[in-house]
Amino acid sequence: MSNAPLQLTAQGDNELYMAAYGNAVERARHSDFDVHIVRDADGAYWCADEGDYGCDTSAFADNIVHTVSGRLSGMY
């Protein structure tokens, strides 16, 4: 029995996560709001800005794997 498929899956998951993390960091850099990285049941990652109109985090709160704090203070 080979462990290669498990390693490939873990590496692929890590790459997907790091891509989502990079996206979240870039979005948070230009936002007053936190950006959540969410993992779906199928293994996909996506980002949700806390300040999005109609964004109800309670619908996916259990799937948030990381949050990047917004970098702007709102004071210009």
The domain segmentation of the chain, as residue ranges, is: 4-68
Q: What is the pLDDT of residue 7?
A: 45
Q: What is the pLDDT of residue 76?
A: 54
Where are the alpha helices (H) located in 2-65, listed in sequence order?
4-29
Residue with the two structure tokens 């970098």: 71
Tell me if the pTM is above 0.85: no
Q: What is the pLDDT of residue 73?
A: 62
Q: What is the pLDDT of residue 59?
A: 79
Query: Which residue numbers in the chain have pLDDT < 50?
Result: 1-8
Under DSSP, the state recorded for 62 is G
Partners of 46 in beta bridges: 38
Partners of 6 in beta bridges: none
